[in-house]
Amino acid sequence: MSDFEDDEMEEIDGEELSEEQSELLANAYLSFSDKFAEYVRQMDKDLFKRAVDYAKTFTEEDIPGISLTYHIEEDDNKETE
């Protein structure tokens, strides 16, 4: 069972969020997560791959009814040794 409760994002500092505020918050979170993941991917590919593997272990069970797909782009400019 997930620690996430349905109403966790409906309130901030005890104040209820409107539907528009909830959507803006979700979009901001997704944007931040995407940019953060891209930064880590560019700076430390091995760490990024380990983080994806780690994320797979808890998303398989904690999000019932939702299937996530993971895609790691290989670096086309990779130097061969």
pTM: 0.58
Mean pLDDT for all residues in the chain: 76
Query: Is residue 45 within 8 Å of 73, Cβ to Cβ?
Result: no
Query: Is residue 17 within 8 Å of 25, Cβ to Cβ?
Result: yes
pLDDT at 40: 94
pLDDT digits (tens, 9 = 90+) for 29-51: 999 999 999 999 999 999 998 98
Alpha helices by DSSP H, listed for the chain, are 19-43, 45-62
Please check the confidence at residue 64 and state whether its pLDDT lies above 90. Answer: no
- Give the three-state DSSP class for 49: helix
